[in-house]
Each structure stands twice: as structure tokens, then as C-alpha cells.
Structure 1
Amino acid sequence: MTHATLTYITLSFVVLLLILLYIMRAAFSYRRKKDEEADKDATEVGFVVDAFHGLVTSQKEKERELEILRKQAEERATAIESYNEDILQSVPSGVVSFDRRLTITRMNSAAEKILDLREADSIGMEYHEIFASPIRELLENRETVERIEAGYVTVTGRRIWLGLNMSPLKDSTGAIIGQILVFTDLTELKAFQSQKELRERLSNLGEMSAGIAHELRNPMAVISGYTKILSRKVDETLQPAVEAISKEVSVMDRIIADFLSFARPTELMLTRVDPGSLIEGCVAASDGVLAGIRVVTDYAVLPAIMADEVLLRQTIINLLQNAAESMPDGGVLTIRTLLKDRLSISISDTGHGIPENIQDKIFLPFFTTKERGTGLGLSIVHKVVISHGGSLDLETSSKGTTFVINLPKDVLIET
């Protein structure tokens, strides 16, 4: 092999080696570039994935926060509603709400008790199906009433006095969405005022009537004496006239005696009294006037009381006689006793009832509808009951009358 040939081969080998090195370098560069691009793509995808997961996590946290806020808002709304309901049910005044068509939407427990109603039976009912006059008229006219006092008869027939307020029911924007009726039971207050007024009238009348009665008795005694003299001296034809004068004098004397009894201050002689035995004794003593009348009794178990037995006996007998007189053709006389917040003795008849126009007058002294009555019977009854710290209630209709003697628990000896 020549030197030229050897040189050519060596140069060829070097060129091939350089080409191979170039190719290898190019391949290596290409591979590195590809790896860098792959790493870059992987980094971008990872960033997107991480960003997405971060967004989802943040969204879930926001949802949890919103759920917590929603629950807190619901709890606050429930608490406010419960608080308002507690207030509504706790106030002593009756509250009834109506929608724009005057359909009952709410009624608190005080309203149920005062009006003898049940909310469950009243919700959804129209006003005229539940309420009587004068509440019905107030609702019909949709009047705004700040304060009026009116008598009312409940669905059970109980007569009460109400202090009424009525105004439009408005929402948070001030728009009228119905009516709201607020009322207070004034029955006991009215009874107290009536008793106070009666005490004042009795006091004033007593001072005046005592003097008048004594002045009348003196001439009546003279007339009675002359009548006895006449009865011995006149002939038989005039005897009926003298006897008539004598009877009228006796009637006048009884009226004056009642007058003095009524005018005299009541001094109670308190003793231990068994109410059941007292009532039974009064019924037995009234047996003659109760002829033809069926007597029904419903006695509760009552403890003994401290009271004036004589005056209470007079009171009960007087009421029994009045009941009998209201049933001339017979009927049913019912006597009930009850012990709750007070001791009650009720005497009911099935007579003709007491006309409404005189119900406020029957306890007034000298007011009577009887031809030969003195008008002092119920006045004395009322005075005796008041003297014991009690009250006398009246319930009457065309089907009969009930007088209720209410005595405070203070009179009880044992419970």
C-alpha cells in the first residue's frame, strides 16, 4: 500500500468520524430539545391541573361557608319566629289576626281563653262565622279603633266585658295585608267597679234611710194603735175595711224592717260553716215554695269555710225563692258548687229569664218587678255577698236565669 493510499484512507476515516460525531451531536441536541419540550408540556399540564384542583377546593370551601351561613340564617329566623310566638302566646291580652279577606290567620292562647274558642277550629274561618256583635261590626267596617269598651257574649253564652283595639296589619314595606284585633277581659274590673259604686250608694243610702225609717215607724205605730181601737168600736160592716188597714200597716212595717236591715252596716258573725249542709238546710227550709219544682244538685267536695251562717242562709233562701217565683208552672232548679280559684255556688232556674233592659237594675235598692215586692231582696243578697269579700254574678236568657255566689279562697278553713 502506497503512502498516498494510506493517507486517503486515513482522511476518509477522519471525515466519517467527524460526520458520525456531528450526527450524534445533532441527535443528542434533538433529544435534549424534545426532552425539554416534554418537560415544559408536563409542567404546563401540571399547572393547569393544580389550578383546577385549587379552584374546586376553593369552591367547595365557599359552598361550605355558604351552607354554614344559610343554617345560621335559618336558625336566626327560627329563633326570631319562636321568640315572636313566645311573646304572642305570653301576653295576657287576646290577639287575633286576619288576612285581607278577614279570614282568621292567628289566635293566641289568651284569645282562646277569653272568647271560649279554639285556634285549631278558628283558623281559616271567616270573621262572621266566629264573632258576634259588636266585634263583627268593627271588622265589617274595618275601623281603626284605639280603645272602646263593649259587652260581648261568647259562643258558650258567657257575658263578658272587653276593651277592644283594632288596626290594619302591615308588612315590612307598610302595605296593608289584613287586620289585627287586640282585646282585654274587663269583666272582673267592671264587677269590681260595680261593687265599689254599690258600696258607695249603700253607704250614702244607709245614712239617709235609717233616719227616714225611724220617722216612718212612729206614725205607723200610731196608725196601728188607732186601727186596733177602731176594730173594737166599729160595727161588723166596717170590720173588713179596718182589717185591710191593719194588713197594709203590717206590710208597711215589714217594708220598714227590711229597709232598716238593708241600711244597717253588715257586721259578720263568722263561724265555721259546712257549705254542703248549709245548702241542704236552705233547700229543706224552702220546701214549701219549691212544690212542683224538680231540684237537681251537683255538689263538689268542699272544705269548711269561715262565714256568717245566718246571713248566707238568708241569701241562699232568697235566691231559691226568686227562682221558684220565676217558674209558677213548675220547672227545674239546679244547684251547683265548684271550687277552683274561688268557691262558687250557682242557683239556676228554667224560668222566663230577666229582660235585658232591667238586668243592670235588679241589684239596686227598691227596684222590683213584683206587684207586692219591696225591691230589697236582691240588694240585701248582693250586700251580704260583698260583705264576705265575694261577688254575685248573673247569667240569664229566655231559657232561664243563673245567680252565682263567688266567695274568695280566703274564707276556706282547709283545702
Structure 2
Amino acid sequence: MDYQINYIGKKIKQNGKVLTGKTVEHPKGDLVCSLLNVKLTDRHCLPEELFYWIGEYLSTDHIEARNNIASWADLFGQRSIQSEISLDMSCNFIYFIRSSIMEFIQEEVSSQRISAMTLIKLTRELDSLFQLVTSTITELYIDRFSLTKFALDESAEDLSITLKELADLKNALNEAAIFAITDSNDEISYVNEKFCEISKYTKAELLGQKHNLLNSGFHPDIFFREIWQTIQEGRVWKGEIYNRAKDGTCYWVDTTIVPFINANGETYQHISIQYDITEQKKTEEILRKAEKLSLVGELAAGIAHEIRNPLTTIKGFVQLLRKSHEETKLLYADTILEEIDRINFIVSEFMVFARPHANYYTECNVCDILHSVINLLEAEAALKDVILMREIPQKSSMIRGEKNQLKQVFLNIIKNGIEALPHGGHIKIHVHDYQSELVISIQDNGIGMSKDQIKKLGEPFYTTKPYGNGLGLMVSYKIIQNHHGNISVKSEKNQGTLFQLSFPLIDSRSS
């Protein structure tokens, strides 16, 4: 996970008690703690535990931490129900916790300790976690309501909750959710005030009507047929619906529909519990646009990096043309034309992001590609007192791939090796078959890298060079992945670096 997110996660864990104190500054937050008999002086009180697990998840990205958050929500929901705390009050308390975290993160952004892009990522991660918490708590309340209804239908003697508790559950649903009851003919028999507020219809206008009164035309007919079929089969339906209000405005609702079944196994009515997520949807759209803009920036930097390499080669050969004899000019001209073709290919690859197209892989002789790359770089290497040593077999080593993309990978890695030898040295390029794979080793005796540097290789904008941008290796890693290959890096400071690439041989690939 991003190191800035890791940093925020650790800070949240360290400041759990402080954040808990801010949460209970809200009057309703203090009331919930009081009803749950939570003592803030305890070593690990209930709210502080949630801050701890959220911090743990952000700093480690472990699924165990996310599971612990779900377990915490289950415990909190059960204790809230036992303490007769309304669903509305429980959800508000969770919202206060989220607000405390967001205010804390905003302070970090204002102090420029984390970037705006990290804020966007954190918001997305936290929204996912708090959606997990609130949905877990809500489902507990729904289950409690369903158990209550089942008990009432079974027998008055087996009634397991009091009328007061039932009234509280109804009040909780009315206060916290957009709530409606629909009969077996799919006609609305009850709506609460929140339903009227969001739909802009009065109760009189809604009662006796079907829900297609709110149809926005966004969903296809099959979408609603599947909902109806699920309800008729006695199963709960969950999803998001885009509705149209009476005044023509549209809104999104996160919806849970719970059917009620009679003794004959038939659905005689169902309830819908909805939450307005229109603002959340708008935020998601803003985040998507921000991510697209960020991607455009990365691609622009990447294309500039990839084009700079062949332009440098062309410039060098043009300078050599001025001084060369007639017999060498033709060789230099061929190389220049080849590099111009490579620029054209790179620009074409850039268009993938504007207009998707399929890659066409053919049989590629990796040994021939490596010889071509080494011939291309030998002049640059000689100028820097670097010797390129080949241990490439004469036989053909065929894989399925795209020749120019593979050439791009080898160029990037070998050029990085040359730049890692400021005082000269050697780079050994070795090729061999291992079982059903072709293995290419590129090893230099240069300045090497630390373990932390190795871990960050392939990340956008991470580089060990003063004038690099890290995008060359990022592109290379993606190309290797698309070719079903693998890459590993071994390095030590002042001991050199070994890049090892492997690709499935063509005779081992399924047709």
C-alpha cells in the first residue's frame, strides 16, 4: 500500500484515544457511550478499538484487519440492540467516528505531510470500511426485525420481544431509512416521511401505486423483473436503484428488499429499506475523473520518457554521420530509420489509452531481439567504458510476443545497467532454457541498490537516477506481465544488480 497511507494508518493507531475523545464531544456520541456503558478511561474501550483496526488496515492492508473491523461492527450492533439504542443513533455514532478521522487527515494534508492524491485514495478506502461497518450494523437490526415478525406470525405465546422494542425498531427504521411496505400486488401500502421527502410525492399520491411510478428509465426492464423474481422466491434483494422524483430530479438509493412469507410459502408483502447515496455517487464520479486526469499525466510523462531514448540514439548517429566515411553511412542510416519506426510504434501504443485495440502477438526469436538491442547500445556503452558481454545461444528461442515491446523492455534494462556504471564496468547478458521457460539474465557490476529501492522498482515516478522518472521500468513491468512473463531483481550496494526475466517458450503454450 502507498507509504503515505501507511503513515496515516500508524498515526490513527497512535492517536486512537485522542480521536475517541473527539468523537464523544458530540452530544449524541457521548450518549451512545453512556448507554453502552463505555468508559473512555479503559485501556481499549470500544470506539478506540475501531480506530486501532482501521489504522491497522491502512498501515498493513491485511485482510485480517478488515475482518476484525467487521467483527467489531457485529459486536457494536449487538450491544446497541441490547442497550435499546436506535439504528439512527448507532449510524450517527459511526458517522462521528468517520468525521474525527477525516478531520485528522485534513490536518495532515494542510501540513503537507500527505498529498491530495493520497487524500482521494484514503477517502475511497475509508468509505469502503465504513460502508462495511454500517451495512453490518443495519443487517443486524433488519435480522432482529425479521425475527420479531416471524415470532408474531408463529404464535402469540412465543412472542420474544415487547411492543416497546417493536415500536423502537419501527421508529429506528423510520428515522434512519427511507422505508416502504408493499403488498402482494406490488402496490404501496405504507411509506414513511423520508420516502415522501426524497420522492417529492405525498403519502396520498403514493399509497396504492406501484413502484414503477418512480422509474427513471435508467435501468432496463429485465433489472426490475429480476428483483421481482428474487422477492417472489422469498429471497432478500440488495442493490442500487436510480429513481426519478415527482419534480423530475433523479436520485440514487442503496436498497434492501425483505419479503415476508406466509405459512404456504408465498410472499404476501415486502418491505424496502433504502438510503440516499446520491452524494456518494457524485463523489465517486469526481474521484473517477480525478483518476483519469492523474492517469493522463502519468501517460504523458511515460510517453516522453519512452520517446527520449530513440531520439537520443538518432541524435548520436546523426552526429556520427557528419564524421563518418561513406561505407558506414548506410549502416547508420538503417539504424536511424529503425529508431524512427520505434518512435512511431511508441506513439501508436500511447493511442491504446485513447482508443483500445488488441495486441497481435507472433512468434518472436528473443535471441535475435537481444542481438539487435546490444548492437544498438554498444556505441553508447563504449563511450562510457562499459563492456556488453553476450552469452546467447545460436539456436532460436521462440516465444509468443510483440517484438517492439520486448525490445523496449531489454533496452530499458540494459540502458539502466549502463547508467549504473559511471566509472565503467561490464554487463553480462545470458540466455538459457529452463524447463518450459526461456530465462534472460542481465547482470552488471555497478553501484547496486538497497532492499528498499528494489521494493519500489516499477512504481510510477520512482527512480534512483537524478534525471529519471521511473516510468521506463513501470512500462517494462507491464509489458512483461502482458507476455505472461516474470521479473525478479537481486542487488546489493556496490555489488551490482541482476535482472532475471522469464517467458513461457512457444512449444509449452497452449494453442
TM-score (norm 2): 0.30
> Which gives a bigger RCO, structure 1 or 2 (Cα 8 Å, sep 6+)?
1
